[in-house]
Amino acid sequence: METGPRIIPRPEHNVSRAHISNNALKVMYRLRDAGYQAFLVGGGVRDLLLGREPKDFDIATDAHPEEVRQLFRNCRLIGRRFRLAHVFFGRDIVEVATFRAAGDEVGADDEESLLLLDDDGRILRDNRYGGIGDDVWRRDFTANALYYNIADFSIWDYAGGVEDIRAGVLRLIGEPEGRYREDPVRLLRAVRFAAKLGFRIEPATEAPLRPLAPTLESVPPARLFDEVLKLFLGGHAVASYELLRRYGHFAQLFPVVDALLDSEAGEPYRALLLAALRNTDQRVAEDEPVTPVFLFCVLLWGPVRRRAVALEAAGESPLQALLLAADELMDGQQRQVAVPRRITTPVKEMMALQVRLQRTRGRRVLGMLGHPRFRAAYDFLCLRAAAGDADPGLAQFWTELQALDEAGQKAAVETGGRRAQPAAAGEGEAGQEDGGAKPARARRRRRPRRRKPGGASG
């Protein structure tokens, strides 16, 4: 191990307090004033060096969690695998972690202080504290192992992270296979940081990514749900998807989807998924909202639709077939990525609306415009139409319907969005409302049914 850090003084780097949140500064200053070490650490330092705006500002200190809680009344301790202090400033949370110890000691009984590994080398518990020189070797990538010291505004670099950031290299600290086995989520973190930062993955760091993909099966599905959101809703969804597929991670997260994408029936779902991910990245770049509901609807739509077709062939109605297929596929998906009910319920609603949006005639059509999921379902329909998975004319109907006034909407749903015959077309909307060929034929069709029974059967 290194005996000491490379200390980069303030004049030699571009990290400024002006770009650090006031709440993070308050926490660091109070820790410093109480006699503790206090460092901004991890992605916050990395992003500031890259000239980016950090999403989070995390603090590392030699103060133990209980000592941090004594300094801040607005503090709560969380975590079992590794205890952390969360300091609350309204909705803003500053996370404070105590320096972790290095070493490989394993304890089976002391829940509070010893490292506990399972038979595969995965860390189950890690509440062992040390100094900053130990802590750095417990972090994952060199780019995330930089410490900004609030005492003199210098950066401490133990692992060559500054040079790797300047070179655009993602490098794992320590022996790669062992580090991945300690926590298989690091496989996904490697993909996420490479996609987010545009870094190339250093060869030794990259080599185990595909062979160790099956170790993701040991990660709790609820934790994988959180990682999926970070991968796909952070503004780098397309790059993340491509890397996940390259290294076999996507198959571990969404096995049924992956199998469909690799099959001859994979189109148009490959095109649909890529279009949706591009749309998500664009919305993030434009600071528009993105939702996991839309993401999971797109991800699971292909297998759900394929299964629904089979259920329709077995005699189910289109809507019932789709709902049954959605239940079946989502229940199976929970074994890999645990999607909570607050997500799955609206996802099913969006999918069901894909069937209901096929109706273009009748009063109920206008009621669809007020459905709480209509806008998302309509956007999804348009993506499907562009990818060849839905009728472009159907998407055009709903696009035009929203642009009409009330009278125009009523006229449109009387004809299902189709214009009247040429003789009536020149009369405009009034001609459609006042009669025309289709309403007259509809009245003639109803008369024989009113004369039953006793009439001809066909």
The DSSP result for 7-69, as a single string, is EE-GGGS---GGGS-HHHHHHHHHHHHTT--EEEETHHHHHHHTTPPPS--EEEESS-HHHHH
Distance CA 73, CA 88 (A): 9
Question: Which residue in the block uniquely carries the two structure tokens 């039953």?
Answer: 452
Q: Note if 118 is an active site residue.
A: no
Please compute, for residue 405, the number of CA atoms within 13 A of its CA located in the half-sphere on the CB side. 2
In sequence order, the β-bridge partners of residue 89 are 92
Q: Note if 434 is an active site residue.
A: no
Of 62, 126, 140, 389, which one is the catalytic site residue? 140
Q: Which two tokens stand for residue 52?
A: 């980016």
Q: Note if 140 is an active site residue.
A: yes
Local structure of 170: helix, strand or coil: strand
Q: 333: exposed, middle or buried (C-beta count within 10 Å: 0-12, 13-18, 19+)?
A: buried
Residue type, 348: K
Classify the C-alpha dihedral 53-58-62-63 as positive or negative: positive
Question: Which residue in the block uniquely carries the two structure tokens 């860390």?
Answer: 123
Please compute, for residue 260, the number of CA atoms within 13 A of its CA located in the half-sphere on the CB side. 21
Of 58, 62, 135, 164, which one is the catalytic site residue? 58
Are residues 114 and 106 in contact, defined by beta-carbon separation less than 8 angstroms?
Answer: yes
Question: Which residue in the block uniquely carries the two structure tokens 């110890």?
Answer: 101
> Annotated catalytic sites, by residue?
56, 58, 140
